[in-house]
Amino acid sequence: MALRPIQAALRISLASLTACLLAGTLVPARAVAGKSAATAGTKSTPESALHRIQRTVARIDAEAKTPEGEAAVLTRLSAQLGASEDSLRYQHETWGLGYGELAMAYGFAKASRKGKAPADVVAMRAAGNGWLDIAKDLGVKVDQVASRMKRHVSSPKPR
């Protein structure tokens, strides 16, 4: 079975996409089918929701690169995900995920209609499943996860 172009594009590894986002080489589309960005419509598609999640993942991972940032991310994620800082640190190290991806796995597990744990989501991803396939298997609305992921990012400090 041949993949549609959008499905094939979404199979790009999260690490590659995150690297592009951090490097600033991935630029959002300015128009859709001849419409300006302002008139392109407001309905979110699974692809755009997934891209929003991946941008959030990149922001969390970038914040956690310093010891102070990592401590802040751990404290925030612990409170928001209901997991201890020690367990999050352990999962980060043993699963080989950044803190953003860890939050993403928790988000998909929490939104799952099948009662899956974050470890189950990580196992599905490690088995080579794409995020949209995982969402479909779990009965998850990617847009719902994208909305919840926004709260995992620190607010910019007022100037």
Give Cα 58 to chain centroid, integer Å: 8
CA–chain centroid gap for 144, Å, is 12
Q: 50 with 133: CB under 8 angstroms?
A: no
Could you say which DSSP state residue 31 is in? E
3-state SS string over 71-131? HHHHHHHHHHHCCCHHHHHHHHHHHCCCHHHHHHHHHHHHHCCCCCCHHHHHHHHHCCCCH
Residue 70, pLDDT score = 94
Judged against a pLDDT cut of 80, whether residue 18 lies above it is answered with no
Question: Which pLDDT score is estimated for 124?
Answer: 95
Q: What is the pLDDT of residues 35-65, one digit of tens each?
A: 444 444 445 565 688 888 889 999 999 999 9
Which pLDDT score, from 0 to 100, does residue 61 have? 94
- Per-residue pLDDT tens digits for 118-153: 999 999 999 999 989 999 999 999 888 888 887 767
Listed in sequence order, the residues at least 6 apart from 109 whose beta carbon sits closer than 8 Å to its beta carbon are 116, 117, 118, 120, 121, 138
Residues 64-101 pLDDT 10s:
999 999 999 999 999 999 999 999 999 999 999 999 99
Residue 113 banded pLDDT, cuts 50, 70, 90: confident
